[in-house]
Structure 1
Amino acid sequence: MPELIPLPAFNDNYIWVLTEQHNPYCLVVDPGDAEAVIPFLQQQQKIPAAILITHHHADHTGGIRQLKQHYPACRIIGPAAEESRIQGLEQLVSGGDLLSVPELNWQCQVFDLPGHTAGHIGFYSAPVLFCGDTLFSVGCGRLFEGTAEQLYQSLQSLAALPDDTLICCTHEYTLANIAFALSVEPENVDLQLYLNLCQQKRHLSEPTLPALMATEKKLNPFLRCENSKLQRKFNQNSALALFTYLRRAKDQFKS
């Protein structure tokens, strides 16, 4: 079975590496900082077969050039819709594409996930989902280039994945997201239990990720907007209206 490794970068980023024990090749996802990746690859004696990019923000792309210099054979794969904004892309993919990395005998489905950025994409190979800044544990990305409706639909497409999906997002925002979620649903006992679990992990300097889709469906307010009780609580008449309201409220929220 592949192993998922989140490499910390900057203040709260994770750069994901997918490896197999007896395979010299690996995948690297959203390398914002090559200096967080190269020492790990050298220590583990791994060679990146491919680098996957979900969107154009610098904290996800800043390490591409240096990694390509160290590992010239690796493929740089990213969103066709953001080709002009990401230097170094060599293979362009869009939603519905099937992507193969033969060195790892690995295939994935590409999802279009507009909202955080206009051309954001995700990569899914059961049970692993690399979703960039679209879906976080108990949260979702900010709206920088897309609309609330686009981001809502992107999240709905991810929520349709199986409950055992492992959500490999790229920021350690979980505790802050739980604080907001508790302001939305203070009576949600599962949220309080999850808070305790995540606090223990962070106290031990362990990541709270990957998150489990089944858990997110119970805890994440942005995946619970079809809940009629929540809609009534915040005087919203549809799931999209509640999502839009909550996304704006999160932008203003201070824990």
Structure 2
Amino acid sequence: MTMPLEIVTVPCLSDNYAFLLHDAASGRTALVDAPDPAAITAALKKRGWGLDEILLTHHHWDHIDGTKELCSTFGASVTGAAADAHRLPDLDRAVQDGESFDLFGHEVQVLDVSGHTVGHIAFYIPDSNAVFTADSLMALGCGRLFEGTPEQMWNSLSRLAALPPETVVYSGHEYTQANAAFAITIDPGNDALKTRIAQIDTARAAGEPTVPSTLQLELDTNPFLRAHLSSVKESMAMQNAEDVDVFTEIRRRKDNF
């Protein structure tokens, strides 16, 4: 039986996260997104790890800017979306929606999660119970729609919502406390959300991260995953609206919150 990857959360820049994925059997390590080479290199050296692969979710600078330096230092190879290759660092492996690839003996499934950008991908690793969503599904939120449409993002979130509920969601930013302040305006009667907000406030007061979360927790509390529920529609006076229209209105309100 394959042992799950050891996953380490690395705080980067002011509010980004990168993630180290270490396979104990082979001693090899991968990285999801490369915002800050200094922070990532320090985390690797602390553990005595090298860096063999870099997996990129999308082209925004705060997810890719450290790639070249890390490749130069460690000799890592780079994987990213074929659809985004023209604006990513040079790729050694270009992947697309529905494909799988091997990472140190672990299957990685590629999901197109366009919305925040077009060509944004997520990496789902079933045997490690992990999905790396960057700026698509986020803790209590979703990414702002810089390039994609509400329909694209709703479809992307719906695909992620269909993963096993125990899946651990590794998203790209520490936005959870701000997201929580908005979420309660959409879902004011949600007791699970109220409990989560108290936990978030405690964690942030102690300087602790709120990422990762679980998919089940997001399903229970994240308004962007709950646009199809009658309770949310009623709280927004949109009882008869289509799910995607409710999602669109939630995103509009968040943009103006």
TM-score bin, normalised by smaller chain: over 0.9
Matches of 2:95 and 2:169, distance apart in 1: 20
Matches of 2:194 and 2:26, distance apart in 1: 40
Over the residues paired in the alignment, what is the CA RMSD in angstroms? 1.2
Contact 2:140–2:222 (CA under 8 A) maintained in structure 1: yes
Matches of 1:77 and 1:171, distance apart in 2: 21
Q: Deviations for 1:15-50, whole angstroms, at most 9, x for unmatched residues?
A: 111124464311101111111111221221111221
Contact 2:187–2:235 (CA under 8 A) maintained in structure 1: no
Contact 1:225–1:239 (CA under 8 A) maintained in structure 2: yes
Counterpart of 1:238, as a letter, is E
Matches of 1:137 and 1:39, distance apart in 2: 26
TM-score (norm 1): 0.95
Matches of 1:233 and 1:141, distance apart in 2: 23
Counterpart of 1:147, as a letter, is T
- In the alignment, structure 1 segments of 5+ residues that lack a partner are none
Matches of 1:43 and 1:190, distance apart in 2: 37
Equivalent residue for 1:92?
Answer: 94
Contact 1:231–1:238 (CA under 8 A) maintained in structure 2: no
Equivalent residue for 1:17?
Answer: 20
Equivalent residue for 1:162?
Answer: 164
Matches of 2:77 and 2:72, distance apart in 1: 12
Alpha-carbon distance, 1:208 to partner: 0.9
Residue from 232, 239, 243 that aligns with 1:239: 243
Equivalent residue for 1:124?
Answer: 124
Alpha-carbon distance, 1:88 to partner: 2.1
TM-score (norm 2): 0.94
1:1-255 equivalences under 5 Å are 1-21=4-24, 23-72=26-75, 74-101=76-103, 104-126=104-126, 127-236=129-238, 237-253=241-257
Alpha-carbon distance, 1:54 to partner: 0.3
Matched residue SS, 2:42: helix
Counterpart of 2:60, as a letter, is H
- In the alignment, structure 2 segments of 5+ residues that lack a partner are none
Matches of 1:21 and 1:244, distance apart in 2: 43
Matches of 2:216 and 2:46, distance apart in 1: 35
Moved more, 89-98 or 146-155: 89-98
